[in-house]
Amino acid sequence: MKTRIHAIAGTIGFLTILLFWTSTVLSELFASHATVATVKSAILMGMFVLIPAMAIVGGSGFSLAAGRNEALVSAKKKRMPIIGANGLLVLVPMAFFLESKAAAGQFDATFYSLQAVELLAGATNLVLMGLNMRDGIRLSGKAAPTTQVTLTSSETIATGTMAFHMTKPAGFQHQAGQWIRLTIADAAEDGKASSRILSIVSAPDEPQITVATRLSDSAFKRSLSTLTDGAELTIAGPSGTFTLHEDASRPAVFIAGGIGITPFMSMLRNVTATKAPHKIALFYSNRAPAGAPFLSELEELQKANSNFQLIATMTDLDAQDSWVGETSKIDQDMLQRHLKDLDAPIYYCVGPAGMVTATQKMLRAAGVAEQDIRVESFTGY
């Protein structure tokens, strides 16, 4: 929902500035002074639309970007303060001043000089906002090329969780940690999209594409869970930059909640297969072992990869559950028990939005630098 609000407010802001800019240029070139004054008055009234829209864009944008350090997100974060300063320090004051000058019929050198400044500032914001909208589309994966795949098999991998194996199209290459947008052509409808973003579980060198998801009562998830082998699906991607850092001298700490394990499975399979030297500790939180996707495979990966340490915790055990290990939520105390130095690693966190936000706050409170915290939130469980 936050992403949609951000996109809608950004579109409104962009189109409003574009309307202001084009109406100003056209009226100045081809209309009378009276029409220019009318345009200036309309622009001033339009600020009651533009200012709230831009405030929403800025607030939602920084909230969505929190903890994300990918190149596209970083570029958007750098542009946003410039857009805001341009609006507050140039465009808004100019709108009031030029409207008063036009209403008084004072079309003098000062008016036209400031008008040029306003047009330049408006053009700058249009360019920067256009770049942000372009990068937003890239981040959403909606601009990624699509291709047809075939479902080869599906399986239940934990309580309420299924994995789906698909043919890999010729030329399909992904980095461990990336995702695809999966579309079911004949999915049942409930007012929501017929596609979902799903992290790729399979390693880059595996012959098939595998994704996994928690099941829910949404029409898409119901349709997905009832697909039979041989079903034709559409995928877009791969997309995303939530990938393991290249500098193996810095250890990695993965923090996963539930189905948030999926991008980490691709990374762990890949580093184990390629014998990458990265030291990795995975803190993996679930309610109970039966609901923990890929838990058995993770235990096997720990045996096969001496650089990988698994710390699983079960936070809501029943009396019949057999579990020897951590049972509390992942917090600073747990990290300190298992890590030698909290400042050394780069941290990756994936899970429900609330869990991710709480983990970010915990890591900041522990003194971890913001640039060493990388996150992805999963919604719509």
Cis before 238? omega within 30: yes
Q: Give 362 or 76, the one with higher predicted confidence.
A: 362
Model pLDDT for residues 60-117, shown as the tens digit of each residue = 887 777 666 667 777 888 899 999 999 999 999 999 999 999 999 999 999 999 999 9
pLDDT for res 139: 73
User: For residue range 303-330, what is the model confidence (pLDDT) as tens digits?
Assistant: 999 999 999 999 988 878 888 889 999 9
pLDDT given at position 105: 94
- Mean of per-residue pLDDT scores for the chain: 91
Give the C-alpha separation, 366 to 252, whole Å. Answer: 16
Of 152 and 135, more confident = 152
Domain boundary assignment for the chain: 2-140, 146-239, 252-378
Assess whether pLDDT exceeds 50 at residue 13. yes
pLDDT in tens, 171-219: 999 999 999 999 988 765 654 567 889 999 999 999 999 999 999 888 8
The separation between CA 38 and the C-alpha centre of its own chain, rounded to angstroms, equals 42
Residue-by-residue DSSP string for 95-118: HHHHHHHHHTT--SHHHHHHHHHH
Query: Ranked by mean pLDDT, which of 144-153, 287-296, 369-378 comes out on top?
Result: 287-296
Q: Lowest-confidence range among 22-26, 57-61, 142-146, 357-361?
A: 142-146
| Percent of the chain residues topping a pLDDT of 70 | 94
DSSP, residue by residue, 42-73: HHHHHHHHHHHHHHHHHHHHHHHHTT---HHH
The CATH number of the structural domain formed by 2-140 is 1.20.120
Full-model pTM: 0.74
Predicted local confidence at residue 1, as pLDDT = 64
- Per-residue pLDDT, averaged over 16-25, amounts to 96
Is 252-378 a CATH 3.40.50.80 domain?
Answer: yes
Pick the range with the lowest mean pLDDT from 10-24, 62-76, 137-151.
Answer: 62-76
Closest CA to 174 of 261, 236, 224, 229: 236
CA distance 23 to 164: 53
Sheet of 161-167, strands arranged across: 195-199, 179-183, 232-239, 146-158, 161-167, 208-214
pLDDT of 260 over the 60 cut: yes
More confident residue, 219 or 1: 219
Determine the pLDDT at residue 288: 94
Q: If you count them, how many residues does the chain have?
A: 381
CATH code reported for the domain at 146-239: 2.40.30.10
Per-residue pLDDT, 188: 59
pLDDT bracket for residue 3 (50, 70, 90): confident
What pLDDT does residue 192 have?
A: 56
Closest to 242 (Cα-Cα) out of 39, 62, 67, 36: 67
Q: Where are the alpha helices (DSSP H) in 66-191?
A: 71-86, 92-103, 109-140
